[in-house]
Amino acid sequence: AYPGTVSLRLETFVSVLREALESLTEGGFRRVLIVNGHGGNGPAAPACAQWAAGRPDVKVRFHNWWNAPLTSEKARSIDPEATHASWMESFPWTRVSGVRPPSDPKPMVDWPAIARLDPIPIRERLGDGSFGGRYQRSDHDMDALWKVAVEETRALLESSWG
């Protein structure tokens, strides 16, 4: 993992989610929206669905905010090179104070070459973790993206949970 990253085994992460869902339902919640912010957490989504399947009175949604349709469309309209650890993750409130990112875009990752590698060599090739593109965009661009992401997420909360 990269410095500062806390990593959990999938089984541990799923266990934490299940316990959180149990706690929420014991507290009376019947609709739970899990807003996911990292692709590495995606494998937990089926476990959440499986947990909910045994509880017909509870609805659980697992929402990947960054690749939801409207958010993804907005990101591509700002800059089609919206990748992992690129400008798309550099909101004014997530930036490290006093650190200026490189001004030049990083070359895009050569996926065919990297796909055959194990995790450690992949990390070595990626260096800073970015898959390529610009490191930062204007606060205006980021605010516009965030607005769409929040609206799209809010719409899920307010829509029918059938």
Over residues 138-158, the pLDDT tens digits come to 999 999 999 999 999 999 999
How high is the pLDDT of residue 7? Answer: 87
- CA 83-154-84 angle, to 5 degrees, is 10
How high is the pLDDT of residue 119? Answer: 86
How high is the pLDDT of residue 21? Answer: 98
Quote the CA–CA distance of 142 and 146 in Å, as a whole number: 6
pLDDT tens digit sequence for 23-47:
999 999 999 999 999 988 999 999 9
**48, 20 Cβ separation under 8 angstroms:** no
Strand locations in the chain, DSSP E?
31-36, 59-64
Which parts of the chain have pLDDT scores under 50? none
How far CA 71 is from CA of 21, 51, 143, 149, in Å, comes to 26, 28, 12, 5
Domain range summary for the chain, segments of one domain joined by +: 1-66, 68-162
pTM of the model: 0.89
How high is the pLDDT of residue 1? Answer: 63
**109, 132 Cβ separation under 8 angstroms:** yes
